[in-house]
Structures are given as C-alpha cells and as structure tokens.
Amino acid sequence: MIHYAEHKAICEVMMQVLIVEPQSDIHRYNDWQEWIQTRKELMKTIQQNLNRSLEPYEKQMILWSKTCFICHQQAELKTCQRCFSANYCEEHANAFRTKHDGYKCDQMMLMLNIDIEIISGRTNDDSNTDDDENNVDSNE
C-alpha cells in the first residue's frame, strides 16, 4: 500500500483526537468560512500530535472531507449522481440542485474526468515524443 506507515500514523492520531474532541457529524455551519476554520483547527491539532508537518494529501483529506454542499454536515449524505464530486443532506436537496446543477456540476465533472485520465495514464505528453514524423532528416 502507498504510504501505509504514514497513513496508519495519521489515522491513529485522528481517532485519538476525535475521541478527545469529537466532531459532530450532524453539526451544521452558518457559512463555509466557519467550516474551514474548524478544519484548520483540526489539522493543527493532528499535526501537533503527529509531531511533523502534514503531507499535502493529508491536508486535503482533512480540509475537503465529504460534507453537505450547503451546511457542511457530514452525516447521511447523498452524492451528485452526475459528477460524483459534491454531496448534500436530505434537508438541502433542493438548495443543492439550485446551486450545483448546471455550470458547477459541469466543471466538477470535467475535473473528475481529467483526474481519471491522469491517474489511468492515458494522457500523452507530446513535448517529449521522439516519433519519426517529428524528426526531419536533412540528408534525405
């Protein structure tokens, strides 16, 4: 497994921190700034308990955990079945559709598809190719 030792360490610290300072999965936030502030505080506590800086993927894991697009609660979420990148709670289903459907969903779907292409290795970097058609032999 990739980063297994590091993952195990952060997982254990997160479990310890959440026992001492439980995060309410059903807590709703008035705005995204309040949500982000709680994430930053959690990240700082975890980093202190790990006695090291967090890796970028660990920060992403904490800052962008699955939450309702509207209220940021983390329990009983549904996922957009088009882009698979945004979530909502039952109470905010209509507000989610109003704010998310259309351009935002299209953009998230595009980003997801780009990520899939990159991960699958199907993208080409043409700048480093050494194809015969790109090389001109002046002796011909």
Looking at residue 133, what DSSP letter applies?
G
Is residue 60 domain-shared with residue 80, that is, in the same domain? no
* Domain membership flag for residue 131: no
Bridge partners, 60 (sequence order)? none
Is residue 2 domain-shared with residue 59, that is, in the same domain? yes
Residue 71 in this model has a pLDDT that exceeds 80: yes
Share of the chain above pLDDT 70, in %: 78
The last residue of one of the domains, among 43, 65, 87, is 65
Lowest mean pLDDT among 10-24, 94-108, 118-132: 118-132
Domain count along the chain: 2
Write down the pLDDT at residue 140.
43
Mean pLDDT, residues 124-139 taken together: 50
- Structural domain boundaries, residue 81: 68-122
Mean pLDDT, residues 61-82 taken together: 90
Is residue 3 domain-shared with residue 53, that is, in the same domain? yes
Is residue 58 domain-shared with residue 80, that is, in the same domain? no
